[in-house]
Amino acid sequence: MAKQKRISPRGKQRYEEGWEDFSLKAEWFQRYRDPGAGRSLKEVYDAALVQAHRMENHIHEAPPMPEKELRKAVLGLEPRRKATVTATKNPNAKGAIGFASGAVKISGEGDLTNSVLYLPLDPKLKASVDENTICIFRYVQRTRAWKKMPVCGIDPKGTVAWARVHEPGIYIAIALPSDPIMQASLLLLYMHKAKFPPTLKKEERIRVAKGILKGNGKLAMLLSGLDEDIIESGKRSAKKSPIGKSARGGDFGGFPGDLPMPGDLPGGGFAEWDILDDICPPWLGPGHLYIPGRWPRLPILWPPIVFPWPPFPWDWKAIGPKNINGRIGSLCIHPSNSNILYAGAANGGVWKTTNAGLTWIHKWVFEDSMAVGALALCRNYPNVLYAATGEDTPGWGPSYPGVGIYKSIDSGETWNKCVGGGTGDRCMKVLVHPTDSNTVYVASNSGLYKTTDGGATPWSLIHTGHCTDAVMDPSNPLIIYVAIWNDGIYKTIDGGTTWNAANGGWGWKWTGFGVALVWRGIPTGAAAEWIALAIGNNGTSGTNFLIAKLGLDSGDIYKTTNGGSTWSKIAGPVQPVSYNEWTNMCAVNPDNHNILFAGGVGLSRSTNGSTFANTSGTHSDHQQLVFDPFDSNICYVATDGGVYKSTNGGQNWVLQ
């Protein structure tokens, strides 16, 4: 067996913070989830049942299954505008082993958000894969690889695969091969995927892969479930592999383990590695690998070293409570009392602290949705808050749609739903006019909406498109910037009556030989991808200073010092992530525009306006960062593991 490797400091930190997260959240639950003054447990129980029945009316996450077996792929759930689904050639036949269907192409125009693709499975291909692991993948043209759709599955009859899709492209069903030794071979290669960087040449990839398979053969045979006497004899019955070659029928050579090579190992690895990522996400550090009905539950260290004997001290079992949600999607801070903050949980409602994060109290119990996508309060009337429900992470789960906008006029003690349901069911940002608490903007998956009466009447759609972010000029609330997914940035100077593109323009640039007129803008269209925005305040260029995090995997940082007339790229890639719809944020220190933050899975910080370095102490996946209004060295960041606080300008962080 290979020598056990030392856990990295980052891995040790994530392992230990799991204990800290659980301890604090359990304390929140036990301390603050009490019946309340004058309420019996039975009354709380009855109210919870009423709420549960009410919330059932809003659930539309699960796609409707076809009433009869489908013979061709179709788009379902909602009528599509000019969208078609046709069979097409597999563009990357060597990118996976366990294909379970033919490839289809979705083409056309219109917003595909919340669409469901129904893809019939090929019976012959399906016979060679593990049905429990069937997923739908999308072909990414720029990387020439298959990318797993996060929300997907198969119908009860096992004849149709489905996935939530949000953009045109080529799709196909892929699963782990059913052959146990092929499964084990894939697992071993996956466990050593750090040895296969994209720059590695094909011949070297195959050489390294063969060495891994040969050196770990006996372990793979044990994982595959073969009896030890069969393993020692080196004999097994002939069986065809999913790629049409013999999966080592007859004599497979005994040990040290000459295992079958599953085809030509692609540069980015097999598509099935994405399925294994879901089973044992690599960002979790110490964890488990488990495939129902195939392998025993196996503890893993990261970098992965498999220990083939359960149990193990990391063999965790959930003991509850099960309704604690650590994922925080939004924050807002009181403008005159910085000890007061509000946090919106992705599926846990609204929480409030009055002591700068030492303790948190729930302020959201019996509302129609627990999914809070965005929070904001009015600067001059901070007792007025708005909470937009529905977390906007298209194509990624788990996230839940909302039921509209809630308003509180008593600092979060009580909440009432605003009139009108046309604000989109998944929201990214709420902006409140600083001196008029009735003028509010909500950026959602169906556009930017506005109310001027505090939500007493239906909201007005003032900009179309799938909004990923929006910011308001701190000194002029009529100036608003909105980011549109796979499009660009737009600006209004009259509160949303008129809009103009703010993607840049022509400007002068020093070339070394003189000045030249060059285009100074941001990527637009599909190249923009998921856009995050942040606006300055008291620093250089004032509120004309903005940064945007966008581009390939939202990894490039651009800045403007003239309100979007021109942009310049200042860094990249910084915290890029393929699932940028799930985690992508940026922030500007309001008093020093050289101090910038860029978040994705990790959090990076710049102190000179261009060079970024990783910070320490936060949980993975960052959503929003806010600053203390009196001391910008104190700041808070929302992550998938809760709220973290820094007292030294974001250099170090502590869980609150």
Cβ–Cβ < 8 Å for 85, 117: yes
pLDDT for 17 beyond 80: no
| pLDDT value at residue 424 | 85
CB 104 within 8 A of CB 88: yes
pLDDT score of 24: 55
Distance (Å, whole) CA 587 – CA 559 = 12
138-148: string of b/e by CB count within 10 Å (b at 16+)? Answer: bbeeeeebbbb
Structure tokens, 219: 């372990």
What tokens were used for 111?
Answer: 């917003």
Q: What is the pLDDT of residues 299-347, one digit of tens each?
A: 333 333 333 333 333 344 444 444 445 789 999 999 999 999 999 998 8
Query: What pLDDT, in 10s, does the model give residues 399-458?
Result: 788 889 999 999 999 999 998 667 888 999 999 999 999 999 999 999 999 999 999 999
Residue 574: band (very low, low, confident or very high) from pLDDT cuts 50, 70, 90: very high
The stretch 349-359 carries a mean pLDDT of: 91
Burial per residue of 460-491, b for 16 or more beta-carbon CB atoms within 10 angstroms, e otherwise: ebbbebbbbbbbbbbeebebbbbbbbbbbbbb
**Cross-strand bridge partners of residue 417:** 406
Please report the pLDDT score of residue 456 as a whole number: 92
pLDDT tens-digit series, residues 191-227: 888 788 777 888 888 888 877 777 666 555 555 554 4
Helices (H) and strands (E) in the chain, counts: 8, 44
- Predicted confidence (pLDDT) at residue 486 exceeds the cutoff of 50: yes
Mean pLDDT of 608-634: 94
275 pLDDT more than 80: yes
Lookup: tokens for 98: 């366990």
Task: Give 423: exposed, middle or buried? Use CB within 10 Å, 0-12, 13-18, 19+.
Answer: buried
The contacts found for 321-327 with CB under 8 angstroms, 24 or more apart, are 321/26, 321/29, 323/29, 323/348, 324/25, 324/26, 324/28, 324/29, 324/348, 325/370, 326/21, 326/25, 326/619, 326/640, 326/641, 326/642, 327/621, 327/639, 327/640, 327/641
Contacts (Cβ under 8 Å, ≥6 apart) of 565:
502, 504, 505, 507
The dihedrals phi and psi of 173, each to the nearest 5 degrees, come to -95, 135
Rounded Cα–Cα distance for residues 283 and 1 (Å): 24
Give the residue among 638, 645, 604, 644 at the shortest CA–CA distance from 623: 638
Q: Which residues contact 193 (CB under 8 A, 6 or more apart)?
A: 269, 273
Confidence label for 236 from pLDDT (cuts 50, 70 and 90): very low
Helix (H/G/I), strand (E/B), else coil: 114: coil
Which pLDDT score is estimated for 517?
77
| Residue among 120, 114, 118, 119 nearest 165 (CA) | 114
Confidence at residue 311, expressed as pLDDT on a 0 to 100 scale:
35
pLDDT tens for each residue of 39-82 = 666 676 677 667 766 665 554 444 555 555 566 778 775 555 57
The three-class DSSP label of residue 15 is helix
So what's the pLDDT on residue 77? 54
pLDDT at 410: 95
Phi, psi (rounded to 5 degrees) for 551: 90, -160
Q: How many beta carbons lie within 10 A of that of residue 567, not counting itself?
A: 25
Top pLDDT among 382 and 61 is at 382
pTM over cut 0.85: no
Q: What is the average pLDDT value for the chain, to the nearest integer?
A: 79
